[in-house]
Amino acid sequence: MKKTLDEIAKAIQGRVVGDGALLIKGIGSIKDAGPGDLTFLANPKYLPLAAKTGASAIIVGKDVLIEGKTVVQTEDPSAAFSRVVFMIKEDFTPRIKGVHPSAVVDPSAEIGEGAGIGPCVVVEKGAKIGRRTVICAGCYIGQKTSVGDDTLVYPNVTLRENVTVGSRVIIHSGTVVGADGFGYAMVDGVHHKIPQMGTVVIEDDVELGACVTIDRARFDKTFIGQGTKIDNLVQIGHNAHVGRHCIIIALAGVAGSCHIGDHVIVAGQAGMGGHLNIGDGAVIAAQSGVIKDVPPGAKMFGTPAKEYRTAVREMGLVSRLAEYVAQIESLEKRIKALEERTR
């Protein structure tokens, strides 16, 4: 990239304070950027680093100034910087066209106009692949599975039978959608498999990270709502419902038949028990274990998860237990001494 700062500011609806003619050749972090680079400042705690950065210019918030530095003032520095990254980054998005000779596509499968089927892909009987959708090398598309338009499926993804994936979905490598739900019945001391006859429905604009597993329902469907983003190594159990525009971060687990509302945030390593209701807009903090329903808008933390402020206060008290024990022991000694004197 070689653009003037004025050109970049215009593209991100920013305002240059300083030398708009600066030629920007690259981007970098506030710590590592050098001459010719553009960086950004979104968190005020990094202001001391901004004053020392080697970058030629910094994207900052509205009305922010840094002495001795040329800045581009924006409403949202992080979002503006992301737009700059998309402007300049080398695009490695797979652009497969047509069906690779090594792919195995059942004659009954429907391949949409402009779709790409990569090397060693298997597309089973009755499957449907949408227009301009790309299925990369080594993927498996099961019988009667439907994938919408403009979807990108990275290598080595498995979409089992009778699964529905919407349009503009991104699925990263290693993910499995539609594996059997984990259901067994104990009969005479032996675990017997319960058939999982349902499906998985993934709506439009969802992104699934690497090695996500979404189990098919016992009956009806496991559901992932429009615009939801799921990080790597997340497990979604059978018959779970994840609402629209949720964020579920790495290593989280959602047990079977758990219902998560819209705009919910589930932080890393958090777990939700089965048959729970997580209300719209709730936030589940990292490593929390949810064992009861969560009301809309609540912020929960801890195991078992409690209202955030209550949980933090209790953790603070627990951290002082040794101090409290010492105080109690001291008081007991003083009481005993007083009792002996009054005998």
Q: Which of 100, 192, 238, 259 is catalytic?
A: 238
Count how many Cα atoms sit within 13 Å of the Cα of residue 228 in the half-sphere of its side chain.
28
Contact 288, 302 (CB under 8 A): yes
Q: CA 101, CA 110: separation in Å to the nearest integer?
A: 17
CA distances from 156 to 121, 149, 171, 223, 236 (A): 9, 20, 10, 22, 19
Measured CA to CA, the distance from residue 39 to residue 50 in angstroms comes to 9
* Contact yes or no for 249/271 (Cβ under 8 A): no
The C-alpha atoms of residue 19 and residue 12 are separated, in whole angstroms, by: 17
Q: Are 159 and 200 in contact (CB under 8 A)?
A: no
- Alpha-carbon dihedral sign for residues 325, 328, 332, 338: positive
CA atoms within 13 A of residue 196's CA, in its CB half-sphere: 24
> Contact, 296 vs 261, CB < 8 A?
yes
Active site residue 238: yes
Question: Would you say 69 and 47 are in contact if contact means Cβ atoms under 8 Å apart?
Answer: no
* Contact (Cβ atoms closer than 8 angstroms) between residue 139 and residue 118: yes
Scanning 284-320, the segments in alpha helix (DSSP H) are 308-319
Residues annotated as catalytic are 238
